[in-house]
Amino acid sequence: MPDRNPPGPRVPGPLLPQEPAPVSRRAHLLAARHLWPARAALMDLFLALRAETDAAMGGSAPAAYGKPYPYGYCREITLHVFEALQRRMERPGCRGSRALQAFLAKGGEGRCVWGILRDTYFQTALQFGALYVDVANDTVDPAKPRVEILPMAEAGLEPVRDAFHFAGIAKSYWGMTLYANHALPALAPVVPMIGVMPDGAVSFPSATVYMAGLFLRDGFRLAEEWLASAPPPPEGVIALLRSRLSAGGLAAHPETGGKAALAACRDARARGLASDPKWVAACLAECERFGAGGNAPNSEPIATPVAETRAMSTITFEGRSFALDTLSEAARAQVAGIQFVEGEIARLQARLAAMQTARNAYVEALRAALPAE
């Protein structure tokens, strides 16, 4: 990949969905008043919520990359805990929930966030102003404590800055190689990246709410920079996409596709398409229709870490491991059914991502259309 200068400051504007928020002085003060004095109680609260999540998910969760729950379930655990916390806050009954209630009542904010942790891997966590809470701290290394609470300044979580930042972590953590989307130039402004895993699996890893929002935020300039600098997809990748798509959607030649993708960015910027929610949703829906669509919405894209890439030969169910080739035909049919349902869930989540991105664009368009205060 070509050398590149360090990125400049983040483009001012609203936070992206699940983007870690900068910690303001007010956020520090609110955390110091309401959260840090109750840190032990907060730990008890999140450990209890995590135990509820484990009870709900652990018994039936399929093995991820050949390893039993909680390995690989960072996103799912975090979202489950966050939803349970929101229900708990309706009737706060312990010191930890009351501390959070007081924090929120004074203008504090709690959100589920996604970013790059310690320049090593993608991470989903919870942010309460100046407080970082990882309720899935053991999903890579089971020996770690299940919950970690740190100041945001010490956590090492940062937003994905651009496509190059994303590609570097995807390569080192997953083994995924990222290419410029010269194959589908019409979609390239919103979905400029094609990913290929070591086993040959092809996807559009940037077809998520966060990454699409990143490219929309500056009028597709970050997308254009990636498309101009990143390597084109190999012919084999284009052939694979061609087998999935109608031929009319693909560029006839990567060089032509590269020029067309860059032109598409400039055209989309000139036409103000970043503020057109229908167009954005249509682009993401096309990726879904192509069958190589993006990953989980509003969260880290789901991919196999490079050290774990291998064909699944065993499954783990309710704490027991089984070799697939020893199972009965009926049992293998049930495994296939679970895999099918999980694929359908991922497809529906990708569709939801498109609709959430469209809603965000409508909100921004409304904000621009309302009279100034």
What are the sequence ranges of the domains in the chain? Answer: 25-158, 163-304+341-369
Question: How far apart, in whole angstroms, are the C-alpha atoms of residue 345 and residue 150?
Answer: 33
pLDDT at 113: 92
pLDDT at 22: 93
Q: Comparing C-alpha atoms, which of 192, 46, 4, 210 is closest to residue 115?
A: 210
Low-confidence ranges of the chain (pLDDT < 50): 1-12, 292-312
Alpha helices in 38-189, H assignment, sequence order = 39-57, 74-90, 95-105, 152-155, 163-169
- Peptide bond before residue 70 is cis, with ω within 30 degrees of 0: yes
Q: Comparing C-alpha atoms, which of 203, 193, 202 is closest to residue 225?
A: 193
pLDDT at 48: 96
Question: How far apart, in whole angstroms, are the C-alpha atoms of residue 273 and residue 3?
Answer: 30
pLDDT at 246: 58
Question: How far apart, in whole angstroms, are the C-alpha atoms of residue 200 and residue 205?
Answer: 14
Give the phi and the psi of residue 185 in degrees, each rounded to 5: -60, -30
CA 116 to chain centre: 10
Question: How far apart, in whole angstroms, are the C-alpha atoms of residue 92 and residue 359?
Answer: 31
pLDDT at 336: 61
Instruction: Tell me the three-class secondary structure of 283-296, residue by residue.
Output: HHHHHHHCCCCCCC
pLDDT at 244: 74
Q: Comparing C-alpha atoms, which of 91, 162, 77 is closest to residue 125?
A: 77
Rounded to 5°, angle at Cα 318 from 316 and 324? 30
Reading the block at residue 255, the tokens are: 């060089």
